[in-house]
Amino acid sequence: MSLTLGELAVRFGCGLHGDPDVRVDSVAALSNAHPGSVTFLANPRHRPRLAGTRASAVVLEASAVAECPVAALVAVNPHATFARIAALLHPRPAAPPGIHPSALVSPEARVDPEAHIGAFVSIGPRTVIGPRAVIGPHCVVEDGVEIAEDVHLVARVTVCHNVKIGARTLVHPGAVIGSDGFGFAREGERWLKVPQVGGVVIGADVEIGANTTIDRGAIGDTVLADGVKLDNHIQIGHNCVIGAHTAMAAHVGVSGSVTIGQRCMLAGKVGVVGHLTICDDVTVTGYTMVSHSIRHPGVYSGGIPAEDARTWRRLVGRFKRLDSLVRRVAAVERATGTRSTVHQGEDDD
């Protein structure tokens, strides 16, 4: 696919500084671009790299035009405009409609004639596959599943029974949707399985990363609202409800029955204890253990940056002797009469 800058400017509503007849056919990174490519500048810290770019055009904000040595496509949100240009220049290869001869589709399933069912796919009874959905090779779709239009299961995705997936949702290889939640009743020293009889309801425009798992509800459903974006290796426990446009990075773990609001962002390796509620517009930074509900929008943290090992060992030693340090401070306070009433009884046992 090759387009002129003039065509791009018109299609995406950009101002254009430069020759509208220049053709581009690919996207590239700012520092590593080649003629014929489009790149972008969104982060102001990267502005010094602009001068050296070899791209044919850069998508950027109006304030950066003067520094741009090549053609500029001016946009209010350069990253978003770049994403759209990239999608246009690098379309996913179309999957032809129809059912691959090696696929096994239950006669009780209903597959839209425009859907693509790939090699070695198995589809269970009472499952419905919508228009233009792409079920990539080696996917397992059990019974009673509803897959809406334009859903794309890339390959080797498992969708267990009675799961619903909304339009345009994209699921990467190895993801498992609708596995049993981790529910047991203790009886003596044994664990007795509690049947997991709920389902999973996934909204539209969701993305689910490679090898991510989403457990079905114990009773009732696990829910991912529209626009949720999950990276790889994420665990969503049974009966969680994740609000619209919330994004989570790799290795996040959300225990059972957690409710998370809209537009939240959970960074890598965040964990959320079961049965908590997190309100809308909360950001949690990496490695944080969320062990209480969060009721106010904002940023929350719990990870400690690395140190060289020797320094770290000393600090951990200090930390582990904090009791002793507090007692020592209390002793000098008593000796000097400096103890203010606000500390009384707080910290010196």
| Residues in 72-131 at the binding interface with a copy of itself, rule: CB under 8 A | 77, 79-80, 82-84, 86-87, 90, 92-93, 102, 104, 118-120, 122
Residues 224-243 within binding reach of a copy of itself (CB under 8 A): 227, 229, 231-233, 235, 237
Contact code string over 21-60 relative to a copy of itself, x by CB under 8 A: -----xxxx--x---------x------------------
Judged by CB under 8 A, does residue 340 bind a copy of itself?
yes
**Closer CB to a copy of itself, residue 10 or residue 331?**
331
Q: Which two tokens stand for residue 317?
A: 């030693």
Q: What is the rounded CA–CA span in Å between residue 93 and residue 228?
A: 24
Give the shortest CB-277-to-a copy of itself separation in angstroms: 14
Instruction: Select the residue interacting with a copy of itself from 160, 165, 258, 266 (CB under 8 A).
Output: 160
Long-range contacts of 63-71 (CB under 8 A, 24+ apart): 65/17, 68/17, 70/18, 71/5, 71/16, 71/17, 71/18, 71/19, 71/22
Q: What is the rounded CA–CA span in Å between residue 139 and residue 105?
A: 12
**Closer CB to a copy of itself, residue 22 or residue 214?**
214
Parallel/antiparallel/unpaired status of strands 170-171 and 110-111: unpaired
∠ CA 321-327-329, nearest 5°, is: 105
Give the shortest CB-45-to-a copy of itself separation in angstroms: 10
Q: Which among 141, 173, 146 has a CA at the least distance from the CA of 160?
A: 141
User: What is the chain's alpha carbon radius of gyration, rounded to the nearest angstrom?
Assistant: 27
Q: What is the rounded CA–CA span in Å between residue 177 and residue 242?
A: 15
Judged by CB under 8 A, does residue 322 bind a copy of itself?
yes
Pick the catalytic residue: 238, 251, 275, 343? 238
Give the shortest CB-348-to-a copy of itself separation in angstroms: 9
Judged by CB under 8 A, does residue 293 bind a copy of itself?
no
Judged by CB under 8 A, does residue 279 bind a copy of itself?
no
Instruction: Select the residue interacting with a copy of itself from 140, 149, 277, 279 (CB under 8 A).
Output: 140
In the annotation, is 17 catalytic?
A: no
What's the start-to-end Cα distance of the chain, in Å? 73
Give the shortest CB-133-to-a copy of itself separation in angstroms: 17
